[in-house]
Amino acid sequence: MKKYATLFEKGDHKWTVFYHDAHKADYLIGTNEYLIQNKGKAILTDPGGTEVFPEIIAAVSEVADINEIDQVFCSHQDPDIFSACALWFMMKPELKIHLPAIWIGFMLHFGGKLSNFEGIQDLGTTINLSGLALQALPAHYLHSSGNFHLYDPIAKVLFTGDTGAAMTGDPEGFLVKDFDAHIPHMEGFHKRWFGSNDHKNQWCETVGAMDIDFLCPQHGLVFEGKMVKQFIDWLYNLRVGVLE
Amino acid sequence: MKQIHTLFEKDDHKWSVVHRDPKKPEGLLDTNEYVISYKDKHLLLDPGGFAIFPAVLSALVQILDPNDIENIFASHQDPDIASSLTLWQQINPDIKVYVSWLWSTFMPHFGGKGDTFIPIPDEGMEIIHNGLKLIAFPAHHMHSAGNFHLYDPEAKILFTGDTGAAFLPVDNRYLFVDNFEDHIPFIEGFHRRWFGSNGHKQSWCERVQELEISALCPQHGAIYTGDQIGEFIEWLSKLSVGNTRNRGK
């Protein structure tokens, strides 16, 4: 079973992170999923591919009734983001998927019908979770051409998809403990996967001005407190699009 | 049924393209699937998504025995590229998939095991398909971070994945570009928005000039032949891409 932990909780409003899967195959990149609950409804971020579907359902069911989840947020279109959507549609035919509008025609190759997909236009949008206004924040070309992060201004949590991703996990916890020691696990990824320094720097400037307690990537570890700013500064100074 | 067209044929060496799905689901982006056949063994290029597998398979069985599909070339990791992999594997469990090393741990999220994937290093590689030499040609950040095209030096065909792709109107899905100027409205928005890096795009435009190409074959839209190949490369080299910003509202 994947491990999970509570990131934020206040009344009916809660963020849960699902991390480290001890039984994951070596050839598969590990993922973190985040569940946001508010007043009896829930939204799940980047719920993963067909290979991890059973583990995700099992773990999420420990925290929430699957019936609560009627929305999914997809940061982009990659296989590890939501190639399991066809399996989810069998359980929940009316599941609503928020994703970058430019990927709708592509995502339909996984399955589903046009009405399942709610396209987010390039400038971003607000997603309503029982009165909680979540903000889809543009992160285009980081790395995907159509890419969004999800900000919760009440919980001060920013879900960042592949931004901040590290090619390591920590079976003992989900937080970055030592920023400098964490750099080697994320540097190669950001240099190689991200292609545009301009778009990367625009994102750093925008996010650097926001109030964020937790910065939550889909792979690796969560940045908390002062490490959020450390990460943004580090990324701003990193040269990306490097082919060696 | 999707239509089938032979692009090249010489002895045991053949390129076919399967295109224009008349029954594609609403909103789904239409795709071209190419097959390189050499001495009765087949390599599929970007065989498409899970949702269109029946349409692609039913067209292909008209021209080949699916048990003889030994290799898949995936230009990148998108849903429309090879999420049908798990189904092709039901036909041939030993099928191999050539894909950028960047995606070899992401792709197993929709199928395949560790040894299904043959990772292509950033500089590209030679792919030997049943004795036929093919070249994986780097096209990184166009649009995907790890992206390859496939060149056949014998047939002089370059498969370009999303480069050159057109979003054609459903009622006008032509297979060959007839007039490049008329084709521009169907390719411009896509290349400007999906491609994010002018530097990497420029590098491709320069390197591709070294190849002798008789057909430039994208995964969406229409094929470029003759003078249109040079016209397309020239046009792309002058296009400014990455046209959206990350400034929020």
Contacts of A25 in chain B (CB under 8 A): 108, 113-114
Number of Cβ pairs < 8 A linking chain A and chain B: 163
Closest Cα of chain B to A197: distance in Å? 9
* pLDDT for residue B110: 87
Closest Cα of chain A to B86: distance in Å? 10
* pLDDT for residue B248: 53
For the stretch A167-211, pLDDT in tens is 877 777 999 999 999 999 999 999 999 999 999 999 999 999 999
Q: Is B163 on the interface with A (CB under 8 A)?
A: no
**Beta strands B148-152 and B132-138, pairing class:** antiparallel
Nearest to B50 among A110, A137, A145 (CB): A110
Nearest to B59 by CA among B101, B23, B103, B28: B23
**Beta strands A41-45 and A33-38, pairing class:** antiparallel
Mean residue pLDDT of chain B comes to: 96
Nearest to B205 by CA among B193, B219, B191, B194: B191
Nearest to A104 among B27, B113, B244 (CB): B27
Contacts of B242 in chain A (CB under 8 A): 141, 196, 198-199
Which residue in chain A has the smallest CA separation from B194? A145
Do B106 and A29 contact (CB within 8 A), yes or no?
Answer: yes
* pLDDT for residue A24: 86
Closest Cα of chain A to B219: distance in Å? 12
Nearest to A106 among B29, B199, B249 (CB): B29
Contacts of A140 in chain B (CB under 8 A): 196, 244-246
Closest Cα of chain B to A41: distance in Å? 26
This prediction has a pTM of 0.96
* pLDDT for residue A95: 97
Q: How confident is the model at residue B200 (pLDDT cuts 50, 70, 90)?
A: very high
Contacts of A148 in chain B (CB under 8 A): none
| Interface with chain A: mutation pick from B26, B99, B109, highest number of A CBs within 10 Å | B109
Instruction: Give dist(CA B148, CA B99) in Å, integer.
Output: 8
Tell me the Cα Rg of chain A: 17
**Which B positions 125-154 lie with beta carbon below 8 A of chain A?**
138, 140-141, 143, 145-146
Over 60: is that where the pLDDT of B193 sits? Answer: yes
Closest Cα of chain B to A63: distance in Å? 23
Over 60: is that where the pLDDT of B237 sits? Answer: yes
ipTM topping 0.90: yes
Instruction: Give dist(CA B183, CA B199) in Å, integer.
Output: 24
Kindly determine whether residue B249 and residue A123, on different chains, have CB atoms separated by under 8 Å. Answer: yes
For the stretch B27-46, pLDDT in tens is 999 999 999 999 999 999 99
* pLDDT for residue A22: 85
Nearest to B249 among A80, A124, A203 (CB): A124
The whole-number mean pLDDT for each consecutive block of 10 residues of chain A, a chain of 244 residues, reads: 96 97 87 97 96 94 96 97 95 97 97 96 97 98 98 98 90 91 97 98 98 98 98 98 90
* pLDDT for residue A193: 98
Q: List, as one string, the DSSP characters of chain A.
A: --EEEEEEEETTEEEEEEE--TT--TTS----EEEEEETTEEEEE----GGGHHHHHHHHHHHS-GGGEEEEE-SS--HHHHTTHHHHHHH-TT-EEEEEGGGHHHHTTTS--GGGEEEEPTT-EEEEETTEEEEEEE-TTSSSSS-EEEEETTTTEEEEETTT--S---TT-SB-S-HHHHHHHHHHHHHHH---HHHHHHHHHHHHTS--SEEEESSS-BEETHHHHHHHHHHHH---S---
Kindly determine whether residue A83 and residue B193, on different chains, have CB atoms separated by under 8 Å. Answer: no
Sheet holding A33-38, edge to edge: A3-10, A13-19, A33-38, A41-45, A69-73, A96-100, A117-120
For the stretch B91-128, pLDDT in tens is 999 999 999 999 999 999 988 888 999 999 999 999 99
- Residue B163 token pair: 């480069």
Over 70: is that where the pLDDT of B249 sits? Answer: no
